[in-house]
Chain A
Amino acid sequence: MARQSPDRIFTSMTLPLSFVFFVLLGLSVYFYYHAKSGIVRKAALFSDRTKALPSHYGQQSFLWAFIPSFLILLVLTIGGPNYIDQIFYNKIQELNPTFNESFVSLILAKVINVSNGKISTGEENIIMLAKDYKIAFEQLHFYRGLVVILCAALLGMIISYRQKPGSNAREQVEKFIVNIFFASAVIAIFTTVAIILSLFFEALRFFNLYNFFDFIFGLHWAPNVAIRTDQVAAEGSFGMIPVLLGTLLISFIAMCVAIPIGLLSAIYLAEFATPKIRDFVKPTLEILAGIPTVVYGYFAALTAAPFFREIGFSLGLDVSSESAIAAGAVMGIMIIPFISSLSDDVIRAVPQSLRDGSMGLGATKAETIYIVILPAAIPGLVGAVLLAVSRAIGETMIVVMAAGLSANLTVNPLESVTTVTVQIVSLLTGDTEFDDIKTLSAFGLGLALFFFTLLLNIFALSISRRLAERYD
């Protein structure tokens, strides 16, 4: 059966997305210059001064031509295909009322694939639907292009026509820019909220299967459950304390390494180093921050761990070949540049007048640093350390390679431990099902980690607020 729809004429004109976008951009730029020169002409005509700069009128026209049309383009590009799919889904269902949902979806997928030419089929009905589907897409693209370009042209024309030298274009442009700032802030917050919510609901599913209090107070972590029903395995146990303790232990070791070295090197850089030394040392330290954590992992597993083991042996201690101390120490080295570089900036930001005041009273450099500079820099220093701690808590690679996977309930840095992030990775990689208790426990851990870092942040903020010394 030959189908000859009047819509076929449109298919001879394809308007791909990139083409539409560049036409839109071109139109908007055109209206920028059009309005900019237009307002000057208008002002000259009335021998009047424009209330805002000519470029403000240009910007106003650009925004009016570009933004609404761009939003339409966005909506049609994202929503259009879904809408067409929905129509065809309904169509298939109408044609075959007996089919169940998943079968209809299957046919729809087949139709889409045939229309794309990915597969071929002999079934007449599907070929016909596929043709219609293709036409629908061509129509969508055509109308999308038409609407967007017309809308841009129309709005651009209207706004350029309406602009008078007395109207204040600057106000509207600035308001728009402020709104963009606001939108950016809102996007960041919404994403965070969305992440928390998704984490929260997945974790809720886990707590339906496993007792909440057993999870947060449990002293035993053994997430091995039978994957197949015929498999023999011990009942899994999900007490997070050993894992959390591992995170704390390794982060603590890392902090013990990084805070003193980082802070002292920052003080040296900011207060004592000559510009020449500083120009060399600071970038070098920052290179440390650029090393991928996997490389640190090698270093921890192949160099640091045997090193600590040897030292332990010579002291008569039994050091596990995968030890918390090796992972923690290397992690500490990894975060030194964060602390030193940020702290250096913070210390240098303390006004020179405070240094002069202290020196003028006969204080030595050391007294000036300890009594005046460091207290004034405390909020920033806490911020630097906090950033480093979050890095340490979130770090996975070094721990996987150097501290092992076994969840020992210990604070002995010579034994092997595991951390929250490592467990999450090992729970979620490989063949897993997403409604399995083992997999879901990862979300429980994730939520616990989130609350833990949140508490840490609040705690650190309150400390820095209490110690803060305001200068102006």
Chain B
Amino acid sequence: MTSKFRTKKVEVSYGDKKAIRDISLDIEKNIITALIGPSGCGKSTFLRCLNRMNDVIENCSIKGSIHLDEQDIYGPDIDPVELRARVGMVFQKANPFPKSIFDNIAYGPRIHGLASNDSELKDIVHNSLEKAGLMDEVKDRLNDQATGLSGGQQQRICIARAIAVSPEVILMDEPCSALDPIATAKIEELMNELSESYTIIIVTHSMQQAARVSKKTAFFHLGDLIEYNDTDKIFTQPENQKTQDYITGRFG
């Protein structure tokens, strides 16, 4: 197994308050890694470090090192804009742009100049929708507003939008927390398919979801990484008492 991300002693603070400290973990390529833990444990903060989305937050400072394919992503020669094209992100609340479905998917390819002409762009859009399993549902209304779709469809639009930039990694920050079980099942199925060609890191509050979709799981608590192991292990024989308490529902 090769590592996609390698983080060493990552520490993030907002002003004086430390959100996470001393996080060192390697994330493997082309599998799904789940980050679980109670609210405020720092799992989203950690996720946002991986594509430098924390940069836009004021008085947020980061220590330690994060390497993507042996390259320090906080190094001086790294452009966060380029990094985010390689490491895509899907957010908790579906946030399609108030544009047509086509324009939403084409947004990334357009700004990165991935298509040299209209037919190429069209191919990219169609492929992305296909991969996101949305093509059949929206093929007749690519010019309709994306905000008019259902919540689950909107979230899959956001996934398709991320895929369209052909990233290497997709970060998902509680992508199903606002969806019903059927829409959630569809997205989980989609994640499974995508994990063949993409590295996926998902933050989730649902332990069942982590158990269902992920191969490896990291458990965070109060800004510390408590345990990181194969998902099977974490959920059947956790090594740490805190992990045990959390997955059995004793706190969290």
Contacts and interface: CB of A to CB of B under 8 A. Distances in A.
B78 interface: no
A101 B97 CA distance: 73
A409 B247 CA distance: 82
Contact of B147 (A275, A364, A371, A470): A470
Given A362-B84, A362-B165, A363-B111, A357 B158 contact: yes
Interface string B89-129: 11101011111000000011001100000000000000000
Interface in B7-50: none
Nearest to A351: B95
B175 interface: no
Given A359-B53, A360-B88, A360-B89, A376 B98 contact: yes
A360 B97 CA distance: 13
Max chain B Cβ within 10 angstroms of own Cβ: one of A274, A358, A360, A364: A360
A356 B89 CA distance: 9
Contact of A362 (B85, B145, B171): B85
B161 interface: yes
A230 interface: no
B84 A359 contact: yes
Most A Cβ at <10 Å: residue of B86, B90, B107:
B107
Contacts of A470: 98, 145, 147
A364 B113 CA distance: 13
A375 B147 contact: no
A367 B111 contact: yes
Contacts of A275: 58
A469 interface: yes
Contacts, number: 82
B185 interface: no
Nearest to A372: B97
A25 B41 CA distance: 58
A354 B145 CA distance: 15
B162 A356 contact: no
A361 B147 CA distance: 18
A12 interface: no
Contact of B85 (A361, A372, A376, A471): A361
Contacts of B84: 359-363
A360 B164 CA distance: 12
Given A357-B91, A359-B53, A360-B88, A471 B108 contact: no
Contacts of A356: 53, 89, 91, 95
B99 A361 contact: no
Given A371-B107, A371-B111, A470-B145, A358 B53 contact: no
B182 interface: no
Contact of B81 (A357, A364, A375, A472): A364
B204 interface: no
Contacts of B82: 362
Contacts of B145: 469-470
A388 to B, nearest CB: 25
A355 B53 CA distance: 11
B95 A354 contact: yes
A376 B81 CA distance: 22
A363 B161 CA distance: 12
B243 interface: no
A357 B97 contact: yes
A100 interface: no
B129 to A, nearest CB: 16
Nearest to B84: A362
A55 B95 CA distance: 44
Contacts of A358: 97, 107
A376 B91 CA distance: 19
Interface string A332-361: 000000000000000000010111111111
B1 interface: no
Contacts of B56: 355, 359
A361 B98 contact: no
B231 interface: no
A353 B91 CA distance: 8
Given A356-B53, A361-B85, A361-B161, A472 B147 contact: yes
A376 B107 CA distance: 15
Given A471-B147, A472-B147, A361 B88 contact: yes
Contacts of B97: 354, 357-358, 372, 376, 469, 471
Contacts of A367: 111
Contacts of A357: 91, 95-97, 158, 161
Most-contacted residue by chain A among B51, B81, B162 (CB, 10 A): B81
Nearest to A368: B111
Contacts of B95: 351, 353-354, 356-357
Which 5 pairs between the two chains have the least Cβ-Cβ distance?
A362-B85, A469-B98, A360-B89, A353-B95, A362-B84
29 contacts: A275-B58, A353-B93, A356-B95, A357-B91, A357-B161, A359-B56, A359-B84, A360-B51, A360-B84, A361-B88, A361-B161, A362-B81, A362-B83, A362-B86, A362-B88, A362-B111, A362-B112, A362-B165, A363-B84, A371-B111, A372-B97, A372-B107, A376-B97, A469-B97, A469-B99, A469-B145, A471-B97, A471-B98, A472-B147
Interface of B: 51, 53, 56, 58, 81-86, 88-91, 93, 95-99, 107-108, 111-112, 145, 147, 158, 161-162, 165, 171
Given A360-B162, A362-B82, A376-B97, 14 more contacts: A354-B97, A356-B53, A356-B89, A356-B95, A358-B97, A359-B56, A360-B89, A361-B108, A362-B81, A362-B83, A362-B111, A375-B99, A470-B98, A471-B98
